[in-house]
Structure 1
Amino acid sequence: MSLRAHLVIALAGCLALAACAPVPDLAAPLPAAADERAAIAERLRADIAVLSSDAFGGRKPGTQGGARTTHFITERMQASGLVSGTNDPGSAWLAPVELVSTKALASRVIVRTRNGESDLPEIGAAAFTPTRRALIDGTDVVFVGRLAETVPAETVAGRVVVMLGEPGVSPARRANLFGKNPAAVVTVVENESAITSVRRVYGRERIALAGTDDDNLAAFVTREAIAGAFAPGEWQGLLDAAESDDFAPRPLPATIAIDARSERREFTSHNVIGMIPGTLPRSGAVLLLAHWDHLGECGEEGAQDRICNGAVDNASGVAVMLELARRLAQSGPHDRDIYVLATSAEEQGLLGARAFVADPPLPLGDIVAAFNFDTVALAPAGSAVGFVGEGRTALDPLVREAVAAQGRELGQRDFAEQFVRRQDGWALLEEGVPALFLSSAFSSEIVLGPYLEADYHRASDDGERIELGGAIDDLLLHEALVRRFASTALYPSAAGTGSP
């Protein structure tokens, strides 16, 4: 008999003994006496202190600090009575997340025209590739100005595309052009300061899921550098033409050679997945998730403290999730399975959550509700609840009911909406999973703004300004919600549909 079967039998026995006891109102707000809140705060503070300590090195995936983090979370889940939720005996607790890291090393851009060959200086040009080396030479060049969406794919496929940069618009324009399979996209930027900014953004380490990283070759050149490669007035004529209403992409009497090199490595990080087994395993499941990763060393070069400990982002979210899991394990048994997921590589683009979605331990349609915990320890007790992603699932009325039952109100919707695509729940929402992100920290700019301005992704996020009042409120709110969604009586749902 499997471990899960033993657990289900034991839980069923507990239910039989309690059959005559009054059934609690799981939808009601839970009691939170001062001594109970103090005990919760003590446990949260202890876990945050460990996770954000220098010994964990900023919890960067692929480092010793990352491995220590997953080991700590696994131990905490086991101590709370959870079992492995990977549903893979060969990889208990830890679900592999295969990643690829690239970091720019060097590049060279040469423009050849009727005017001769111009080897553009480093201050005037830079190129980047996610592969170890990208080299093109002698390829046709097409100038698209500020066009992108209306450019036919056959016009740019296999060619070097030269586009004009425009702050706030260029990334989307560049992505659109890359979708049409050019050999490279060269963005013409204003000046050398812009090249410095590009190096700062594109030159840092970039991490992607293995098998999903692209091979896009992107180059950036200043207007002065590229103008010098053409005959006097020729480049200005192109700029003037690009401003006309009837402008169409045109081939250039030039070739551009680009040589870009990167340091590239492949490595394995892990999501940690635990589970509180339910007594009705075919009735669906509830999912709790929080990302464990941070940035490692991201402080200024030469600073005395360069470790970005990530106390608020997101040691606090992991701590709240673990404490909630502990309380749910103690208050069970519950009808539905409750999965507890600590994701890797959220900071690099929700990668751990996307890996979970790509290879889940249960059908995604069986998840009746998912709750994300991220950057939670900022608001004082009694604060409003930020509802990130409001209006995207059928669960909103039940959320509002639970918030009101706790004597709270929802925060500023427009403010919370800014973050819906920047948190792990988005990877689930994209797949139709009803994912909720409720946090007092995201109730308004007044609460979150000072943290974003002073400590977010900085070495100063070290736990000195942790505020647990609102986090404990949020924990108790989630406990009431999870107990409701884990009950088939209080939240009937057809298995495999994720909907009531």
Structure 2
Amino acid sequence: LVSGTNDPGSYWRMPVDLVSTRPLTGSLTLTQGRSSVIVPETDAAVFTPRRRALAASGPGTGVPVVFVGYGDGSVLGDAMAGAVAVMLADPGRDRARREALFAQRATAVVTVLPDAGALTRVRMAGSRERLQLASEDQDTLSAYVTDAALAEAVGAHRWESYKADAQAPDFAPLEINLAITLQASAERREFTSSNLVGRIPGSAPGAGAILLLAHWDHLGECRPPEEIDHFCNGAADNASGLAAMLELSRRLKAGGPLGRDIYVLATTAEEGGLLGARAFAKAAPLPLGSIIAAFNFDMVAIAPEASPVGFIGRGQTPLDQVILDYLARSGRELGEQDLADSFVQ
């Protein structure tokens, strides 16, 4: 096994720059005319990945408040730049719409949720530590408010009228007469982790490469500190996968040279959102198009013997028949395809 980084200055490690953020404070103030209210935490939540973020918008500020309904404001083009966008929640599409609005340089995005229960779920998810690649770090300010709280500020009749208009196929975003002030802060930590990359050289240059990969990180502290054992040790997820990958690498190396190069990759920050794998894809030491097949080892041998096999990625590579033929020869059953497909990102 030799270095796979293609970097003489870093033989085994490929640095992965990461940013960790954890929300600290947040507040949302709505002003209609002379009436101003700080929305209580039971009806609003505000998040930012920055140490501190503040935005004031509405009449007299030069920052418009634009109601985009169920859209993403793209019909306005550059007109969204600098605005505070207010959008109605549409589960399954909200993240993409929010990203589209920030891509148009919206100052902040306020998502209107149907009720306090939906807000509680958002708050629980948003209050956890978030890990992301430093190269993907964005200066964003996101707020969530209940439908009832916004209706009270705007006026119930007017708000129902806005929502009804948003249902129309030809709906166009409109500026609304509402002032919104948002403030949020977060604990922020920037640090560098590493992917580890080795290579078993092949005997046929230009024949492509095989990638073996497994993530080396785990959850760490995953239970309340007062519990005696508050660490998730990661024996299954993913020491088992690393062990299987390394043992396979040892056997492949002992068997003599193969035609293709075999890359052995241990990725960091998988639990944070496949971040190490994404960093590898962004700066791979070989052309990504030269990778003939990739085999990911994660939580190996925890299912009962002879369990159905989940085929993740079926229909996306030329390897389908190879895998199906092997399952047939070994007498294994194919598991539920919809479940397997749900793991594809």
TM-score (normalised: structure 1): 0.63
Cα separation, partners in 2 of 1:86 and 1:168, compared to 1, 3 Å: closer
Q: CA deviation at 1:409?
A: 4.2
1:112-127 map, 5 Å: 112-127=31-46
Alignment check: 8 A CA contact 2:89 2:111 kept: yes
What amino acid sits opposite 2:210 in the alignment?
V
Q: What is the SS of the residue equivalent to 2:42?
A: helix
What amino acid sits opposite 2:98 in the alignment?
R
Q: CA deviation at 1:90?
A: 1.6
Equivalent residue, structure 2, for 1:316: 240
Q: CA deviation at 1:280?
A: 3.1
* Distance in 2 separating the partners of 1:416 and 1:220: 32
* Distance in 2 separating the partners of 1:184 and 1:158: 8
What amino acid sits opposite 1:95 in the alignment?
M
* Distance in 1 separating the partners of 2:248 and 2:212: 9
1:224-235 map, 5 Å: 224-231=148-155, 233-235=157-159
Structure 1: which 5+ runs fail to align?
1-81, 422-500
Equivalent residue, structure 2, for 1:174: 98
Q: CA deviation at 1:290?
A: 0.9
* Distance in 2 separating the partners of 1:338 and 1:173: 40
Cα separation, partners in 2 of 1:342 and 1:167, compared to 1, 3 Å: same
TM-score (normalised: structure 2): 0.89
Cα separation, partners in 2 of 1:385 and 1:232, compared to 1, 3 Å: closer
Alignment check: 8 A CA contact 1:153 1:181 kept: no
Cα separation, partners in 2 of 1:264 and 1:172, compared to 1, 3 Å: same
* Distance in 1 separating the partners of 2:165 and 2:209: 59
* Distance in 2 separating the partners of 1:278 and 1:150: 49
Q: CA deviation at 1:96?
A: 0.8
Q: What is the SS of the residue equivalent to 1:262?
A: strand
* Distance in 1 separating the partners of 2:203 and 2:169: 67
* Distance in 1 separating the partners of 2:161 and 2:208: 64
What amino acid sits opposite 2:21 in the alignment?
T
> Which residue among 143, 146, 154 is the counterpart of 1:222?
146
Q: CA deviation at 1:180?
A: 2.6
Alignment check: 8 A CA contact 1:115 1:231 kept: no
* Distance in 2 separating the partners of 1:357 and 1:147: 31
Alignment check: 8 A CA contact 1:100 1:267 kept: yes
Which structure's residues are more often strand, by fraction? 2
Q: CA deviation at 1:246?
A: 5.2
What amino acid sits opposite 1:400 in the alignment?
L
Q: CA deviation at 1:217?
A: 1.4
* Distance in 2 separating the partners of 1:321 and 1:374: 9
* Distance in 2 separating the partners of 1:223 and 1:404: 54
Q: CA deviation at 1:122?
A: 2.4
Structure 2: which 5+ runs fail to align?
none
Cα separation, partners in 2 of 1:194 and 1:382, compared to 1, 3 Å: closer
Q: CA deviation at 1:226?
A: 2.4
Equivalent residue, structure 2, for 1:102: 21
Q: What do residues 62-108 of structure 1 show as CA deviations (whole Å, max 9, x unaligned)?
A: xxxxxxxxxxxxxxxxxxxx232223232121111111111111112
* Distance in 2 separating the partners of 1:103 and 1:324: 39
> Which residue among 82, 107, 127 is the counterpart of 1:158?
82
1:345-424 map, 5 Å: 345-421=269-345
Cα separation, partners in 2 of 1:207 and 1:280, compared to 1, 3 Å: same
Q: What is the SS of the residue equivalent to 1:253?
A: coil
Match status 1:265 vs 2:189: yes
* Distance in 2 separating the partners of 1:145 and 1:355: 35
Q: CA deviation at 1:184?
A: 0.9
Match status 1:129 vs 2:129: no
Equivalent residue, structure 1, for 2:5: 86
Cα separation, partners in 2 of 1:397 and 1:105, compared to 1, 3 Å: same
> Number of residues paired by the alignment?
340
Alignment check: 8 A CA contact 1:114 1:230 kept: no
Cα separation, partners in 2 of 1:394 and 1:380, compared to 1, 3 Å: same
Which structure's residues are more often helix, by fraction? 1
Match status 1:277 vs 2:196: no
* Distance in 1 separating the partners of 2:263 and 2:17: 21
* Distance in 2 separating the partners of 1:126 and 1:241: 26
